[in-house]
Amino acid sequence: MITNYATLKASIKSLNIPSEMASRAGELEATVAH
């Protein structure tokens, strides 16, 4: 159970990084569009 939780946390962390990059890319696109 603890192992599954650690894996889940790692998965969320790895998913969190691309989503943050995507949001920053979206901000850059919005800045360029303006």
Q: What is the pLDDT of residue 34?
A: 64
Q: What is the pLDDT of residue 1?
A: 60
DSSP label of 1: -
Q: What is the pLDDT of residue 6?
A: 86
pLDDT tens track for 1-34:
667 888 888 887 877 777 778 788 888 888 887 6
Q: What is the pLDDT of residue 5?
A: 84
Q: What is the pLDDT of residue 8?
A: 82
Q: What's the predicted TM-score (pTM) here?
A: 0.39
CA 33, chain centre distance (Å): 23
